[in-house]
Amino acid sequence: MTIHREGYKTIAWSVILFGIINILSFYIFSLNHPAVCIIILIITLALLVFMVSFFRVPKRKLTVREDAVIAPADGKVVVIEETQEEEYFKDKRIQVSIFMSPLNVHLNRNPVSGEIRYSQYHEGKYLVAWHPKSSTENERHSVVYDKNGKKILVKQIAGAMARRIVNYLQTGQKVKQTEEMGFIKFGSRVDLLLPTDAKVQVKIGDKVQGGISVIATW
């Protein structure tokens, strides 16, 4: 396991802040209320462990398949439905949504190889990630992949806790399946908008792993 580069600064500032908090608690409470120092130490250590865990990048044997759309994120499948896509395609698509809890790995990966046709950041609200309108109203970053004429749209969507979406892709860039697409901090959702003839291989409630689980075939 390694730590993602997006976490270096956050973890470093957390260590400094928690260190200051514990030093102050020692000088203020150590003589008369030593138990308070211990409680503060335990809480700050637990928070630091959470920070390190959140930015973890576990070692995995990634799935590379020309005929498959691979999960771009870890999480739980919460939506599988046909919908009218209005941002780019302006037609019917199969939407598969993956909810990412704060405990999931938050590195996002390319679901397919191909060329980036569209990469656009949108400001927006911070509705809870499972809200039906979060896909169109929340802060998000949308990317369209073109694989030999077959196109899919992937949306990184901020949630009530997530306040920063990182995306590394640019229009015209050629990418490989399972390589890094971006990162979302602190709870979020990823939507895939697939062609209507795609064969979805997951069901609602399934837990998927980014870079490993097959979402659909075509």
Average pLDDT score over residue span 1-26: 91
Select from 57, 81, 101 the last residue of a domain.
57
Q: Are residues 152 and 46 in the same domain?
A: no
CA 66/CA 50 separation, integer angstroms:
36
Confidence of residue 47 (pLDDT cuts 50, 70, 90): very high
The backbone torsions φ and ψ at residue 197, rounded to the nearest 5 degrees and listed phi first, read -95, 5
Shared-domain flag, residues 23 and 82: no
160 in the same domain as 97: yes
Q: Which domain holds residue 24?
A: 2-57
- pLDDT, tens digit, for every residue of 76-105? 999 999 999 999 999 999 999 999 888 888
Examine the domain organization and report whether 51 and 112 are in the same domain.
Answer: no
Nearest to 4, CA basis, from 153, 184, 160, 202? 184
Q: Which residues are catalytic?
A: 188
Where b means 16+ CB within 10 Å and e means fewer, 156-195 reads bbbbbebeebbbebeeeeebebbebbbbbbbbbbbbbbbb
At which of 57, 81, 102 does a domain end? 57
What pLDDT was estimated at residue 64? Answer: 95
pLDDT in tens, 135-148: 666 788 999 999 99
> Do 42 and 86 fall into the same domain?
no
Q: Based on the number of CB atoms within 10 Å of its own CB, is 140 exposed (0-12), middle (13-18) or buried (19 or more)?
A: buried
**Which phi and psi angles does 6 have, rounded to 5°?**
-65, -15
**Domain check: are 100 and 145 in the same one?**
yes
Does residue 42 lie in a domain region? yes
Same domain for 175 and 120, yes or no, is yes
- Kindly report the number of other CB atoms within 10 A of residue 200's CB atom: 16
Task: Average the pLDDT over 35-49 and give the result.
Answer: 94
Which residue blocks in 30-108 are alpha helix, DSSP H? 34-54
pTM, entire model: 0.84
Domains of the chain: total: 2
